[in-house]
Amino acid sequence: MQAQVERFVVEHYAAGRSLRELAELTDRSFSAVRKILDRHGVRRRGVGAARLSAEAPTPPTR
């Protein structure tokens, strides 16, 4: 299950979702999402980057 959540976070961050959006969608903390991205070597965007306006997909459940 954790691998599925991590894949969701990495894919949707790359698609433009923010760390905060991903934390809410996955029921994880902001720092947990940040650590997932770090583990996968994802370079994070700067503060205040543009937000994605599309509706949120259904995230994987815990």
Whether the pLDDT of residue 57 is over 70: the answer is no
- Total count of residues recorded for the chain: 62
What is the C-alpha separation between 62 and 15, in angstroms, rounded? 22
pTM, to two decimals: 0.74
Q: For the segment 2-47, what is each residue's pLDDT rounded down to a tens digit?
A: 999 999 999 999 999 999 999 999 999 999 999 999 999 999 988 7
Output the pLDDT for position 53.
Answer: 57
Whether the pLDDT of residue 54 is over 70: the answer is no
Output the pLDDT for position 12.
Answer: 97
